[in-house]
Amino acid sequence: MRKLHIHCGLHKTGTTALQNALHRNAQTLRSQGILFPAAGIPPGLSGHHNIAWQIARDRRFQPAFGDLKALFREIGKFDGDVVLSSEDFESSLRYPERWASLKKLANLSGFDTVFIVYFRDPVAYLESLYIENLKHGFGEEYLAVAQRVHDFGRLNLKEWEFSFDYGQIAAALALQPDAKVIFRDYQMLLGGSVIPDFAAAIGADPKTLGPAAGSWQANKRASPGAALGQFARNRGQYRRAPFGETQRIAEYMCQGEQARLATPARLRDFLESRFLPYRHLVTEVGAHTAPPGLSLPGQVRGRPENDAGAATIDMKKFFSFETHMLIQKLTGLIESRGGFPATAKLDDDLECKINEWRSWIKGKS
């Protein structure tokens, strides 16, 4: 039977870069017997997010972008395999009932359904997701978010649901016995990136989708200064000062900081004790031989995204009530002195406060 491959993310696993590659090379894929449909892709995007929004009952769903019926009308004109891709399918992974309509149409059209899910080290996923979601209104302290993720195994923002308990995902997908499930490890990708790895998973030529590494990243992590400014914005108004002033303060506070933002060791251990067992779920793609030009992943490593030798900034302190209060105080002081100095040089007392904060966020928890 033909296969309907449903790429479900997770978020922050190279999904946008992969969708751009799939969309850009749709005609080449078609020549290889694989359809990347146009229905369900909102204008300006490359993934089937509207289909994901429809099955999740997400407020962003718009029939004009293509719904399930439009999708299967398009699929009905093609006699090969089909690939759908949206990280927003993640929101429905724990809810088997949400897939009923899609699965019914797939069965009627003669498809075997294959779910493809990329897992990422849960702590690295949380770090990346937190910084990304500052763009979408997150203003909670990092510690509070980490605690909720630990307690409930997931994080919600409007209709979005981000899952960290991969055992729950596996258990839910197991309730769909007529579907095949492929779990992949984001830290152990064939060819070094999600693009050739996914091509191998769907049976396409890995060279079809373009460069394997280097230029494939789409959503790069915001700089510490930009992320801190977003955190400050999301936590509310700072007296009468325009947000631009607060952003300049945040950027100034992070000047000269080359260290990366990371979860402090004790909090990481706390989270890992809850989530690390997910790794037994990860399987290799196909047989134990890699496609030409690609290397097989080696033994799964512990803490794959945690570079112990790199200098780090404590995210628990960086995105905290104390940091918020310091920005508020600095904003008020700069406002009282007529705004941020044109020379971008602050008074000694303000510099002292910032330097104390810099030392604090780099201190041991």
Going through 8-49 in order, the beta strands assigned E by DSSP cover 34-35
Higher pLDDT, 138 or 57: 57
- The least confident of 23-32, 294-303, 314-323 is 294-303
- The answer, yes or no, to whether residue 111 has pLDDT greater than 90, is yes
Question: How do 154-157 and 34-35 pair as beta strands?
Answer: unpaired
Residues 311-334: tens digit of each pLDDT: 889 999 999 999 999 998 888 888
CA-based angle 171:149:364, to the nearest 5? 135
Element (H, E) at 106: helix 100-108
CA-based angle 223:228:230, to the nearest 5? 100
Percent residues over pLDDT 90 in the chain: 65
Mean pLDDT value across the chain: 86
- The least confident of 58-67, 141-150, 174-183, 261-270 is 174-183
Query: Predicted confidence band at 286 (pLDDT cuts at 50, 70, 90)?
Result: very low
Helix (H, G, I), strand (E, B) or coil at 350: helix
Task: Give mean pLDDT, residues 57-85.
Answer: 97
Q: State whether the Cα torsion 132-209-199-81 is positive or negative.
A: positive
Q: Is the peptide bond before 10 cis (omega within 30 degrees of 0)?
A: yes
Residues 226-243: tens digit of each pLDDT: 999 999 989 875 544 556
Return the closest-CA partner of residue 194 out of 45, 7, 24, 15.
Answer: 15
- The answer, yes or no, to whether residue 218 has pLDDT greater than 70, is no
Residue-level pLDDT at 209? 84
Residue-level pLDDT at 280? 62
Task: Give mean pLDDT, residues 173-182.
Answer: 90
How many whole angstroms separate alpha carbon 86 and alpha carbon 8?
A: 6
- The answer, yes or no, to whether residue 39 has pLDDT greater than 80, is yes
- The least confident of 84-93, 149-158, 273-282 is 273-282
What are the C-alpha distances in Å from 316 to residues 141, 146, 260, 330, 360? 7, 9, 13, 20, 11
Q: Which residue has the tokens 């000047």?
A: 255
Element (H, E) at 26: helix 26-31
Cβ atoms within 10 Å, residue 251: 16
- The least confident of 14-18, 50-54, 235-239, 271-275 is 235-239
Residue-level pLDDT at 243? 61
Helix (H, G, I), strand (E, B) or coil at 160: strand
- The answer, yes or no, to whether residue 278 has pLDDT greater than 70, is no
CA-based angle 322:328:331, to the nearest 5? 140
How many whole angstroms separate alpha carbon 210 and alpha carbon 88?
A: 24
Residue-level pLDDT at 229? 92
Return the closest-CA partner of residue 252 out of 341, 170, 138.
Answer: 341
Domains in the chain, start-ordered, CATH in brackets?
Answer: 2-122+160-219+276-281 (3.40.50)
Query: Predicted confidence band at 221 (pLDDT cuts at 50, 70, 90)?
Result: confident
Answer for the pair 40, 84: CB distance below 8 angstroms, yes or no: yes
Q: What's the length of the chain?
A: 365
Task: Give mean pLDDT, residues 275-294.
Answer: 52
Residue-level pLDDT at 166? 92
Residue-level pLDDT at 262? 95
Residue-level pLDDT at 231? 95
Residue-level pLDDT at 191? 84
How many whole angstroms separate alpha carbon 16 and alpha carbon 38?
A: 16
Return the amino acid letter for 95: Y
Residue-level pLDDT at 305? 57
How many whole angstroms separate alpha carbon 344 and alpha carbon 356?
A: 19
Query: Predicted confidence band at 116 (pLDDT cuts at 50, 70, 90)?
Result: very high
- The least confident of 8-12, 23-27, 122-126, 237-241 is 237-241
Answer for the pair 187, 121: CB distance below 8 angstroms, yes or no: yes
How many whole angstroms separate alpha carbon 230 and alpha carbon 112?
A: 44
Residue-level pLDDT at 313? 92
- Scanning 162-308, the segments in alpha helix (DSSP H) are 166-173, 194-202, 224-234, 243-253, 265-275
